[in-house]
Structure 1
Amino acid sequence: MDSQSESQQSEQDKLNDFGRLTLQVAKYGQNMSNNLHSTFANMTVHGWIRLIVIVGGYMLLRPYALKYLGKRQFESMEEQERKDREEEEKRGAKISPNQLRGQNGATVNLDEDEEEFFEEDEGKSSATRWGQKARIRQRTMIKDLLEREERRRQEEEDDKDIEDLLED
């Protein structure tokens, strides 16, 4: 070993763990900087043309590759969904739990008659109707919020109309 590497080794032995880590990161940074500088300083015309062709080809082909890969992924997801549906049909499942929760594009809405039916059965308990009252309360609360928001927007529009008339 030469004297410089021996002195660095002795300095590294004196440091704590954080100092060693910092010294190692600094060494990696210096090596990367030197390598990058020497790479571009020693490039020939042939090397520059090669680099430009590779980067340009990547920039030109990347959008097409992403589009193609996205299309393949979409097709594979559709294929998987089709297989899942066929599997459910074989098992005899008419509706999945996710469809009951409103996922996969299928929603289960209660008509007004059904809501009244559930409101009439307040004293009776049934395992199939758990949470039905909460769902109905949630729907009515959302309807009320939407109505309030619509009234607020209407009032804002009325105020804007009045302001337009006052400015003219």
Structure 2
Amino acid sequence: MSDAAMNVTSSPSIWNTLYERTKTNLAETIGDLDVKKGLRLVIIVGGYILIRGIAQRELAKRKLDNDVRRSEQENAAKMQEKLVDQPGSTAAMPFGWGNKTRRRRKQQEEAFADIVERVNQKKNSGDDVEDIEDLLED
């Protein structure tokens, strides 16, 4: 380091000057503060703190709702895949005789039928393209 740089960083007078300037500026700012300006400053800072807290809570609620919704969708997709892979497995649902059990069983059958229909449509969609290509080549 050069001598000038050493003098600037090691000189205690720079720190004293900085301290004195800061103290003077704060004293002048607070000295110019009257009741009206002070009240305005308190209202602005208080409003900011209040609104920021409310906004953070709302954003946290939205994030939690989105995370819960996403996890429910993932769980539903996993259950549908499980039903497709193992259609006879009903160990996850308890056996019963009431309306609730019949409704749940009916929903399972409808979900399974929808999945089977989608799988069949995906298989058939590739065949349609091949059939059209065969017709165009003739």
User: Which bin holds the TM-score, normalised by the shorter protein?
Assistant: 0.3 to 0.5
Relative contact order higher in (CA < 8 Å, ≥ 6 apart): 2
Output the TM-score relative to the length of structure 1. Answer: 0.33
Greater share of helix? 2
Output the TM-score relative to the length of structure 2. Answer: 0.38
